Homo-oligomer: A and B are copies of this chain.
Amino acid sequence: MWKSTNNQALRERALKVIPGGMYGHESTGMLPPDFPQYFERAEGTRLWDVDGNCYIDYMCAFGPNLLGYGHAGVAEAAARQAALGDTMTGPSAAMVELAELFVGMVSHADWAMFCKNGTDATSMAMVCTRAHHNKRKILVAHGTYHGAAPWCTPNPAGITAEDRSHIIGFRYDDLDSLEQAVAQAGNDLAGIFATPFRHEVFADQFLPSPEYAHRVRAICDERDALLVVDEVRSGFRLARDCSWAALGVQPDLSCWGKAIANGHALSALLGSEKARAAAQRIYVTGSFWFQAVPMAAAVATLRELRDGDYLERITHTGQLLRDGLAAQAATHGFALRQTGPVQMPQILFEDDPDMRMGYAWTSSAIRRGVYLHPYHNMFLNAALTPADVALTLEVTDQAFAELKHQRPTLAPQANPKVLARLQSMAAAQPTRLAA
């Protein structure tokens, strides 16, 4: 019996001591009301909320738990280091070991710097591109998420025009738009941020054309600018290397986070020899950047990623889920848009401009023990088994059946903030490229 009493009580307490009750990407403020805000525990691919409801979790904390919650090898490495020391007056040997291991896995990288937030890594990349030759302009594709600092946060409250005065936008995967932005930067082009693939909320995902990736690389070479690939979200879910290595394109800098320590707080900037001098010139730091526990956890995680079959497994289970959902949707008379790599699926309903169907369907799944997201890409973890996918598909089949029944009388589920956003996106998006 699904309950939400404890969640509700915590939400009410939170409203007093946390602005708006919650903030950031883990806020359920834009989700259907059935989505729990607070969780009690997690194990493998299962997640329990504070009311004891158990979910098969397709978010993995928005990415981090790639090997599954509480992976034994990683947990053991972390506990072993925690017994010795964590935040000390200097780093432990694990920092050097981790840098060597990471650089050994990512083919473009010759060095690594570690930090805490994905935003730390992307902001350091930005500063590095500018320190490289004292140029200023940074090209960033319209609407791509690179973090929540003033130069990149998606919400303009408290942000000044000057925070972005050297950021030039272009349309992702659109060569004409890219060339226009390059021309606008002139001799002041410091770097280009090139999201490995398009993964934005409320929108279909897609991979860029190889031509785009190669052209970005060529422009950076011609103008001695630095190419940055932001792998914070996608890192190690597409490949055991930088995602663009498969396209034959090597960046100068890559940003990592989320999954690299399987849920421990760690992010990283990796760079090639060319960018080393710039990285050495900048001053960046943080109180907890030298913690030994997340680094020991990352060493264990990266070894498992390098030597194990996690990638083959998440690709297999991801495909099982995608195929199963496509068949169910057809049977029940719905058309789904399942986009992006199967390991990071985005699932949207066709002809659902206000998302009433997506919201109702994921609400129905939540109440039956499957945590799917109505508008954010999901993340498969390696603890998910084909049997878990089969259980998931039993639930989604019931959710489709319920949705079919509700459909004629379904009202919009999303709150006014989401509806306004969807309307403005629809108005701004004559094609997928304008996302």
Give the B-binding residues of A (Cβ under 8 A).
Answer: 6, 10, 13-14, 16-20, 22-26, 28, 36-43, 47, 49-50, 57, 59-65, 69-70, 75, 78-79, 82, 84-93, 95-96, 99-100, 103, 110-113, 116-120, 123, 126-131, 136, 148-151, 153-155, 157-160, 162-163, 165-166, 232, 257-258, 263-265, 267, 271, 276-292, 294, 371
Contact = CB atoms under 8 A, between A and B. Distances in A.
A75 B131 CA distance: 41
Given A19-B276, A69-B85, A87-B265, 19 more contacts: A17-B103, A18-B112, A19-B279, A19-B280, A20-B279, A23-B113, A24-B285, A24-B286, A38-B93, A47-B88, A60-B89, A62-B89, A64-B288, A78-B82, A86-B264, A89-B371, A116-B117, A117-B289, A127-B157
A279 B157 CA distance: 9
Nearest to A281: B157
Q: How many copies does the complex hold?
A: 2
Contacts of A84: 40-42
Given A113-B23, A116-B265, A265-B116, A89 B153 contact: no
Contacts of A158: 126-131, 278, 281-282
Given A84-B40, A160-B166, A285-B26, A120 B123 contact: no
A420 to B, nearest CB: 15
A310 to B, nearest CB: 18
Contact of A40 (B38, B92, B123): B92
Contacts of A120: 117
A154 B85 contact: no
A63 to B, nearest CB: 7
A405 to B, nearest CB: 28
6 contacts: A42-B85, A50-B93, A59-B89, A62-B89, A69-B88, A264-B288
Contacts of A162: 162-163, 165-166
B160 A131 contact: no
A157 B61 CA distance: 35
A291 B285 CA distance: 21
Contacts of A111: 16-19
A117 B288 contact: yes
A332 B91 CA distance: 35
B59 A10 contact: no
Given A64-B288, A96-B10, A117-B286, A112 B17 contact: yes
B91 A37 contact: yes
A85 B154 CA distance: 29
B39 A92 contact: yes
B148 A149 contact: no
Nearest to A109: B17
Nearest to A86: B263
A88 to B, nearest CB: 5
B279 A39 contact: no
Contacts of A47: 85, 88-89
Contacts of A131: 157-158
Chain B CB count within 10 A is highest, among A37, A50, A82, A284, for A284
B89 A26 contact: yes
A10 B287 contact: no
Nearest to A20: B280
Nearest to A275: B19
A159 B157 CA distance: 22
Contacts of A281: 155, 157-158
Nearest to A17: B99
Contacts of A283: 23-24, 148, 153-155, 157
Contacts of A49: 90
